[in-house]
Structure 1
Amino acid sequence: MDWVYLILAGIFEMFGVLMINKLNKDRNVTSFLLLFAGFGLSFVFLSLAMKTLPMGTAYAVWTGIGASGGAILGMIFYGEPRNMLRILFIAMVLGSAVGLKLVS
């Protein structure tokens, strides 16, 4: 269950990053509340995952999911560059997270 919590934490981290962009475009209470909820749930699930997973592994996987997911969502929703090197490095981040799962 700890890895499920960690993946959920990463997904909510990605949502929080999207909401930062939304808040910058639409300065309203709804955008702020969505941002707060996304990052708040991310920290809640990270905390639950860290009850059994080592801190270093949990934090590395969480930030990897958030960073690579944010980059992928930026490419999908905001027209950020989609060149092969960028995709390769995102894949390396995700591969590192999978590697940490395999050795934990």
Structure 2
Amino acid sequence: MFEGGDLERASFDRNHLLKHGAEPAMIYSEIVQCMTFHEMLEKEDFDTVDLLQIDAEGYDYEIIKTIDFNRLAPSILRFEYRPLSNSDLDECLIMLGRHEYRFIVEDLDPIASR
């Protein structure tokens, strides 16, 4: 995490923070408990999800890839595409399209709806 004045950012990648102006001395690492999307749903006893908003500072597609859309498919999925490589974005949109999602793009975030 990087703390700078009123600005705090978190990322899985130190270089992502440096790219956005963080001073190396202001970055600290922290080990956090992680779980998959489906583990979180089971823990919280969710059977359905209407809206899933992902903002994982460039790791959005990594999270989307872990979702079993045959088991549980959010009606609306919103994520940030700008940090993704063109090939990752293409793969992501193709995968979501195969699961019958259609897309609206607003500013930096596509909205996928079923």
Greater percentage in helix: 1
TM-score by length of 1: 0.29
TM-score by length of 2: 0.27
Greater percentage in strand: 2
Question: Which of structures 1 and 2 has the larger relative contact order (alpha carbons within 8 angstroms, sep 6+)?
Answer: 1
